[in-house]
Amino acid sequence: MGFLHYGETRSFGFTDRELTHLRTVILGKLNLQESLVFTWIDEGAQHSVWLHPTIPLHFEFETEVSPELNPAWIEQLLTLANSPAGLRLVAEPEQEQG
pLDDT tens string, the chain, 98 residues long: the values are 999 999 989 999 999 999 999 999 999 999 999 999 999 999 889 999 999 999 999 999 999 998 999 999 999 999 999 999 999 999 999 876 65
Which ranges of the chain would DSSP assign to H, the alpha helix? 16-31, 71-81
Its pTM surpasses 0.75: yes
Q: Which residues pair with 40 in a beta bridge?
A: 47
- Element (H or E) spanning 51, and its range? strand 45-51
Closest CA to 49 of 2, 86, 77, 80: 86
